[in-house]
Structure 1
Amino acid sequence: MDRGDVTWRGYWPAAPTPFDTEGRLDEDAWRALLRLYLAQGVHGVLVNGSTGEWFSQTPDERRSVARIAVEEIGGRIPVVVGVTAYTPGEAARLARHAADIGADGALATPPPYVHPSPAETLAFYTEVCAATDLPFMVYNWPRGVAVDMAADQDLIRRLCDIDTVVAVKDSTGDWLRMLTTVESVGDRVRVFGSFLHRRGLAVLLGIGGDGNIDGGALGAPFAVPYYEAVRAGDRETARHWADRYTALSSALVNPDYSGRFASPVPQLKAAMALLGQPGGTVRPPLLPVTDPDALAAIERAVKAAGLPEAPTAEAR
């Protein structure tokens, strides 16, 4: 497989998993959120990633979240399932389930906490990718796993040699390293990174790159038309939407992907609640945002960006 075997591009939510106040998976809210994403015109959805709080779910819950996503939106836009785990066996089992339910692909970071060496990282992905024929997305997430694979482009290239690897999600905090990934492997695999700004526009129209996978997709009203303008080669329109998105993102998120007013997922769900979006609440170890000053700051950022409330249409 290579980048030509998938059509993955554009703006994708890394979807949060809605929990109710008792900590249970809120299936109705989850289905409503998936329909909202369709109504917003996003180009794909990642479920059970970091934003989806995979770490606080049981394996059965992760399977339920993935199954519901495929039921609701499968066949209309790509659904890629996060299978990150501490061992390759566990990740492989989740990948096989994703294949069984008809997901379009799977994604994983290196094992969290482990700090694997390049050889161990390559062995992990080799085993997980061999578990299914699903197209696979390698996820570089140094903030979450304390290993920045983009610092070792030889490793990135060797990972992209694995037969089913068709994409890299490079969320390094070092933008120039992300550009190196585009230059290094972008001719062979899809690269999702940080492109939603004027510098990113220049890269997309010049060097390459394919899209953003964004925690929660608060910026969908700006990012979706941005990527449509990029696809059409309309620089002026793309710059307009890039500036709108950048203003929102910089008001809420630090350059290292931490939240300005709370942990990223609680901050996201607080903002979603302000917009009437069905994000639910978080699960321990995360805590909901309750500080009045933080909530007021999040509300100011959302209002200043001019974000609309959730549309009533269920799908595009």
Structure 2
Amino acid sequence: MDRDDVTWHGYWPAAPTPFTADGLLDEEAWRALLRLYAEQGVHGVLVNGSTGEWFSQTPDERRRVVEIAVDEVAGRYPVIAGITAYTPDEAIGLARHAATAGADGVLATPPPYVHPGPDEIVDYYDRISSATPLPFMVYNWPRGVAVDISAHQGLAERLAALDNVVAIKDSTGDWLRMLGTVEAVCDRVRVFGSFLHRRGLAVLMEIGGDGNIDGGGMGAPFAVPYYEAVARRDSETARAWADRYTALSSRLINPDYSGVFGTPIAQLKAAMSLLGQPGGHVRPPLLPIEDETTLRAIDAVLTESGLKAALQAALQAAPEAEGARE
């Protein structure tokens, strides 16, 4: 397989997994969130990734999250299942379930905590990517696993050469390293990285790259039309949407992917609650953001960035569009 065996591109949420206040998987909220993504026109979704709190779920819960996603999305956009685990056997079990459930692909980081070396990383990915016929996305997440898959080590090229690898999600905090990965492998695999700004637009237009997989997907009202403008090669329109997205994201997420107001997942779910979106609650070891001053500061970002107004405009336009179709 290679990049041409999939059509993966554009703006994808790395979806949060909604939990109830008492810690149960909130299946109704999960389905509602997937419907919201469809309404917003996202180009794909990653489930059970870092934002999905895979680390606090049981294996049965992880499987259930995938099953619901495949059922609810019903082919409207690709569903990629996160299978990150500590051992190859664990990841392979999740991959095989994802294939049986009907997922469109699978994704994994190197094993957390282990700090594997380059040869061990290649062997790990060779084992888990070949366990099913599903297209495979490598996930570079040095903030979470303390190893960086980058072009200067030759790792990106070695992983891109594996049979089922068709994409890399590069979430290094070093933008120039990400750019090196784009340059090294974008002719062979799709690269999802940090492109939702003017520098990223220049890269997409002149060098390569395919999309963003964004924690939570709150920026969809700005990011979806950005990528649609990119697909049309309409730089002027894309720049305007990139600026709107940056006005939101730069006030919530630091360049190293840490959160401005708290841990990123807790901050995301707090913001989604303020927007009336079905993000649900966090699970321990994460704690909810409940401080009123902090919540007001997050709310100010959502308002001042124009996100609240954009969501309201979309809500008002939806009944009109439905009426026109009738």
TM-score of the superposed pair, with normalisation by structure 1: 0.98
Q: Which amino acid aligns with 1:134?
A: L
Name 2:50's counterpart in structure 1.
Answer: 50
Q: Which amino acid aligns with 1:162?
A: L
Name 1:164's counterpart in structure 2.
Answer: 164
1:211-230 paired onto structure 2 within 5 Å: 211-230=211-230
Name 2:16's counterpart in structure 1.
Answer: 16
CA distance in 1, matches of 2:151, 2:11: 25
Q: Displacement, 1:299?
A: 0.6
Contact 1:153 1:181 (C-alpha < 8 Å) held by counterparts: no
Of the structure 1 ranges 142-151 and 251-260, higher mean CA displacement relative to structure 2 is found in: 142-151
Q: Displacement, 1:151?
A: 5.7
Q: 1:152 to 1:88 in 2, by over 3 A?
A: farther
Contact 1:17 1:30 (C-alpha < 8 Å) held by counterparts: yes
CA distance in 1, matches of 2:65, 2:152: 33
Deviations 1:168-190 (A, max 9, x none): 00000000100000000000000
Which stretches of structure 1, 4 residues or longer, exceed 6 Å deviation after superposition?
Answer: none
% same residue: 72
- The count of aligned residue pairs is 316
CA distance in 2, matches of 1:272, 1:120: 38
Contact 2:151 2:157 (C-alpha < 8 Å) held by counterparts: no
Contact 1:108 1:139 (C-alpha < 8 Å) held by counterparts: yes
Structure 2 residue runs of 5 or longer lacking an equivalent are none
1:102-181 paired onto structure 2 within 5 Å: 102-150=102-150, 152-181=152-181
Q: Which amino acid aligns with 1:43?
A: H
Helix, strand or coil: the match of 1:241?
Answer: helix
Contact 1:19 1:26 (C-alpha < 8 Å) held by counterparts: yes
1:150-299 paired onto structure 2 within 5 Å: 150=150, 152-299=152-299
Deviations 1:222-270 (A, max 9, x none): 0000000000011111000000000100110000000000100000000
CA distance in 2, matches of 1:234, 1:151: 30
CA distance in 2, matches of 1:251, 1:68: 33
Name 1:92's counterpart in structure 2.
Answer: 92
Deviations 1:28-84 (A, max 9, x none): 000000000000000000000000000000000000000000001131110000000
Helix, strand or coil: the match of 2:250?
Answer: helix
Q: Which amino acid aligns with 1:169?
A: K
CA distance in 1, matches of 2:79, 2:153: 27
Contact 1:74 1:103 (C-alpha < 8 Å) held by counterparts: no
Q: 1:209 to 1:151 in 2, by over 3 A?
A: closer
Name 1:70's counterpart in structure 2.
Answer: 70
CA distance in 2, matches of 1:292, 1:4: 49
CA distance in 2, matches of 1:49, 1:289: 21
Q: Displacement, 1:153?
A: 4.0
Q: Displacement, 1:296?
A: 1.2
Deviations 1:199-224 (A, max 9, x none): 00000000000000000011000000
Is 1:3 paired with 2:3?
A: yes
Contact 1:81 1:105 (C-alpha < 8 Å) held by counterparts: yes
Q: Which amino acid aligns with 1:307?
A: L
CA distance in 2, matches of 1:64, 1:40: 24
CA distance in 1, matches of 2:305, 2:148: 32
Structure 1 residue runs of 5 or longer lacking an equivalent are none
Contact 1:153 1:184 (C-alpha < 8 Å) held by counterparts: no
CA distance in 2, matches of 1:153, 1:10: 27
Q: Displacement, 1:130?
A: 1.4
Q: Which amino acid aligns with 2:237?
A: T
CA distance in 2, matches of 1:74, 1:4: 23
Name 1:26's counterpart in structure 2.
Answer: 26
Deviations 1:86-139 (A, max 9, x none): 001000000000000110000000000110111111111111011100000000
Helix, strand or coil: the match of 1:252?
Answer: coil
Name 2:61's counterpart in structure 1.
Answer: 61
CA distance in 2, matches of 1:205, 1:255: 22
